Structure 1
Amino acid sequence: MHRVTVKRKEHFNAAHRLHNPNWTDEKNEEVFDKCNNPNWHGHNYEVIVSLTGEVDPETGYVYDMKKLSDLIKSQVLNRFDHKNLNLDTEEFKNLNPTAENIVKVIYDLLRDKIEEKYEMKITLYETERNFVEYPA
């Protein structure tokens, strides 16, 4: 049997503020610059979920893409789209919503719903030129 990677791309819009409450305002501004704006700022995020596995000889699928789309919608988009990540989500109440932390949260949310037999990687674009992957 052969292994294939399938990918599903979705997008969501969200606001956030990068801020460490243990630091002074000056240090937060020095480290996070404009991303520390107390009035928030937003991104048009793109998320790509990659699953690698064996092709099922009966369906020809690695993973049902409709099922994957529905999982991303229920676990990620409904939770984060058009939200202020700092204020509106439990996941980031006490976790700085950097791209690095967001991608790990998304991974954990989906990993709980997708069988371990599938290798999974999440790619998150914060901007056209800035993106992160987990696991690395």
Structure 2
Amino acid sequence: MHTLTRQVRFSLNPFSARQVQGFNSYASKPCGEGLALYFSLWVDLASPLDLDTGFVVNVSEIDGVVRRDVVPLFAEMIYETFQDRQTPTLISLAEVLKKSWAVIENSFQPKIVTQLSLELAPFRRITIGSGEAQMFIYSEKFEFSAMHQLWNDKFDETTNFEVFGRCANAAGHGHNYVLEVSVEKTTGTEKNGWHSEFEKDVKEHFLDLVDHKNLNVDVAEFESLNPTVENLSFLAWQKLEKKLKNAKLCKVVVWENDRTYCSYSE
């Protein structure tokens, strides 16, 4: 079974009942005019390959269905919400994702929709894994900077450098890390101010512990434990698991650089 993922970008003018389509789908289509709301929808479709074409499906078909049948669902919700002088919530967006699931599923049967993910910004997204889901996943990225040295006192110096390479240098070295926190939320009522509380909890319970720190020296958990990206992801889970309000932690990911990251979940 193959799973094909396609990103479809679109921009919506919240004060117009009609959207300008434009001609550059790479940037976004509809294109929006002036200051528009930009979205990007990731569609995952699973199916055996068509042996004649080598496709799960031609991605242009996904583009067509999303722009013809799904984008209007978002446009209608956004327009009506702004007309009522309200702000679209995570829950209202998740509800439109659920409607979108049914549209895409019906359009591509017997292929299976396995996931829909809506990027709200480069570092925030919501994801559903079922058209009937009462839960959705909210993910957000944060950054922190720290230095560390990788070393094991059980090894001699030669072995440490053989195992850890330049990371064993006594002076240490630094990284600009990225942390992604994913939580499950219900599609019921949403508490006002939840998002700000969520960010505050991540900052207070993890980021303040590690940001601009010497991990080996300043973080008690790493006095006898190597501050690898693997152990950092586990530490983030430990510090956040029971601290997030009105949401359930489902995964943390720590990027050491753009080529190396580790995730942890239970």
**TM-score (normalizing by structure 2):** 0.47
- Choose which of 143, 149, 153 in structure 2 pairs with 1:21: 153
Change (3 A) 1:38 1:22: same
Secondary structure at 2:227 match in 1 = coil
Identity of aligned residues (%): 31
- Counterpart residue identity of residue 84, structure 1: N
Asked if residue 7 in structure 1 is aligned to residue 139 in structure 2, the reply is: yes
Could you list the per-position Cα deviations for residues 19-74 of structure 1 after superposition, in whole angstroms to 9, with x for gaps in the alignment? 11110110010010011110000100000000023222x3288x922111001110
CA distance in 2, matches of 1:90, 1:3: 36
- Choose which of 181, 190, 196 in structure 2 pairs with 1:59: 190
Secondary structure at 1:91 match in 2 = helix
Aligned residue for 2:211? Answer: 81
Secondary structure at 2:216 match in 1 = helix
Change (3 A) 1:123 1:67: same
CA distance in 2, matches of 1:92, 1:119: 23
Matches within 5 A, 1:104-119: 104-114=234-244, 118-119=248-249
Could you list the per-position Cα deviations for residues 97-126 of structure 1 after superposition, in whole angstroms to 9, with x for gaps in the alignment? 010001000100001213697242001000
CA distance in 2, matches of 1:28, 1:81: 26
- Counterpart residue identity of residue 190, structure 2: T
Report if the CA contact (8 A) 2:150-2:164 is conserved.
yes
Aligned residue for 1:33? Answer: 165
- Counterpart residue identity of residue 157, structure 2: D
CA distance in 2, matches of 1:50, 1:117: 10
- Counterpart residue identity of residue 40, structure 1: G
CA distance in 2, matches of 1:77, 1:16: 16
Report if the CA contact (8 A) 2:229-2:261 is conserved.
yes
- Counterpart residue identity of residue 153, structure 2: P
Aligned residue for 2:226? Answer: 96
Secondary structure at 1:121 match in 2 = strand
CA distance in 2, matches of 1:34, 1:28: 10
Secondary structure at 1:95 match in 2 = coil
Change (3 A) 1:116 1:134: farther
RMSD: 2.1
- Alignment length, in residue pairs? 134
Gapped regions of structure 1 (runs ≥ 5)? none
Greater RCO structure (CA 8 Å; 6+ sep): 1
Secondary structure at 1:49 match in 2 = strand
